[in-house]
């Protein structure tokens, strides 16, 4: 299963609403997870099952979608949110694939 994210990068300002899209080439139901990665760090797990927020993740993050099309939304961008975001499908467990990433820049 191939995962395609768009855009590859975006520029935004503090307080902006940001939306990132992830598309699967086959239906994956809701087996879609999201991660945030900052330079030189391991990815941080944000959202599972397409829309469920991991404990401790700020509520400005939300996920939606099912089937083949998914979105990650940051409702009001904060300075600490500038990072690269990855989606990951687990429908084809035990084989996993990630999207290529979306870099959110100032």
Partner 1 sequence: QLQLQESGPGLVKPSETLSLTCTVSGGSINSSRYHWGWIRQPPGRGLEWIGSFYYSGNTYCNPSLKSRVTISVDTSKSQFSLKVTSVTAADTAVYFCARVGSPWGEFDYWGQGTLVTVSS
Residues near partner 1, by CB under 8 A: 31, 33, 35, 41-45, 48-49, 54, 86, 88, 90, 93-101
* Closest separation in Å from C-beta 90 to partner 1: 3
Token code pair at residue 93: 């467990």
Of the pair 60, 103, the CB lying nearest partner 1 is at 103
User: Under 8 Å CB-to-CB from 83, ≥6 apart: which residues?
Assistant: 36, 37, 38, 103, 104
Of the pair 16, 44, the CB lying nearest partner 1 is at 44
* Rounded Cα gap, residues 49 and 65, in angstroms: 10
**Spatial CA neighbour of 96 closest among 21, 12, 28:** 28
Of the pair 95, 106, the CB lying nearest partner 1 is at 95
* Closest separation in Å from C-beta 40 to partner 1: 9
* Closest separation in Å from C-beta 15 to partner 1: 28
* Closest separation in Å from C-beta 83 to partner 1: 14
Of the pair 67, 101, the CB lying nearest partner 1 is at 101
For the beta carbon of residue 27, count every other beta carbon within 10 angstroms.
12
User: Under 8 Å CB-to-CB from 21, ≥6 apart: which residues?
Assistant: 5, 6, 69, 70, 71
């Amino acid at each position: 299963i191939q995962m395609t994210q768009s855009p590859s990068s975006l520029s935004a300002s503090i307080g902006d609403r940001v939306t990132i899209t992830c598309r699967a080439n086959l239906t994956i139901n809701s087996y879609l997870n999201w991660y945030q990665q900052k330079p030189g760090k391991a990815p941080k797990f944000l959202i599972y099952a397409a829309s469920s927020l991991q404990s401790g993740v700020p509520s400005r993050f939300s996920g939606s979608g099912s089937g083949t099309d998914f979105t990650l939304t940051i409702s009001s961008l904060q300075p600490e949110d500038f990072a690269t975001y990855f989606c990951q499908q687990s429908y084809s467990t035990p084989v996993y694939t990630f999207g290529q990433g979306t870099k959110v820049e100032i």
